[in-house]
A and B are shown apart, each in its own frame.
Chain A
Amino acid sequence: GNSVTQMEGPVTLSEEAFLTINCTYTATGYPSLFWYVQYPGEGLQLLLKATKADDKGSNKGFEATYRKETTSFHLEKGSVQVSDSAVYFCALSGGSSGGYQKVTFGIGTKLQVIP
């Protein structure tokens, strides 16, 4: 079945530092890949997505590129802000292992940005 592995946190960075959160996946076929974010006290929100190989998803300065050859979808941001402090979840859906679009999540990586 589908699975997602992402780096464990917490990750603590100073404001304006570069962020990378690694994510790799296991799935057959061509799943869609997502990054969701959960701010303190709030629900899950989609941050960005990519639906085919070599696609780059981007939003709010965050980027992730769908790498089929390395089965990866690493999240990056060039300059983090305190307001980016949240838990980030890598996720996937689809592929050829399932006939529907159940979303499978990674464990989540907590990011704390300090001034």
Chain B
Amino acid sequence: DTGVSQNPRHKITKRGQNVTFRCDPISEHNRLYWYRQTLGQGPEFLTYFQNEAQLEKSRLLSDRFSAERPKGSFSTLEIQRTEQGDSAMYLCASSPGQSGTEAFFGQGTRLTVV
């Protein structure tokens, strides 16, 4: 197992375009998280899945954002009609779901909206 994998690593898009990111968690981790990190800030929680069920969405996740985790394996995060304020690093993490266990993070996808 090579850890949490995110693709693409970098994405540059024009304002108004849609983008989709993919996350492949560590196999057998039933919890998957999406975070957003902007320069000089800590990661901010966006949404969380337990298996295929999306159990919480942050108020940071506007209607333009949607996340899925079909079959409880990989996950996608889509941003529609991107805005310059969406420029950030989008981090995916997974955990085995036991109490006290840490989240394992991917390298992130850096989005730049021009």
Q: Size of chain A's interface in residues, with CB distance under 8 A? A: 24
Q: Which residues on the A side are within 8 Å of B45 (C-beta)?
A: 102-104
Name the contact of A101 in the complex, choosing from B40, B41, B42, B99 (C-beta under 8 A): B99
**Given A102, A106, A107, A108, which contacts B48 in the complex, CB threshold below 8 Å?**
A102
Find the A residue at minimum CB distance from B96: A101
Q: Does B25 contact A (CB under 8 A)?
A: no
SS class of chain A's interface: helix, strand, loop or mixed? strand
Interface residues of A (CB under 8 A from B): 4, 32, 34, 36, 42-46, 49, 51, 89, 91, 93-94, 100-108
User: Can you list 26 A-B contacts with CB-CB less than 8 angstroms, sorted by A residue number?
Assistant: A4-B42, A32-B102, A36-B105, A43-B107, A43-B108, A44-B43, A44-B91, A44-B93, A45-B105, A46-B102, A49-B102, A51-B100, A100-B48, A100-B50, A101-B103, A102-B45, A103-B93, A104-B45, A105-B35, A105-B42, A105-B43, A105-B44, A107-B41, A108-B40, A108-B41, A108-B42
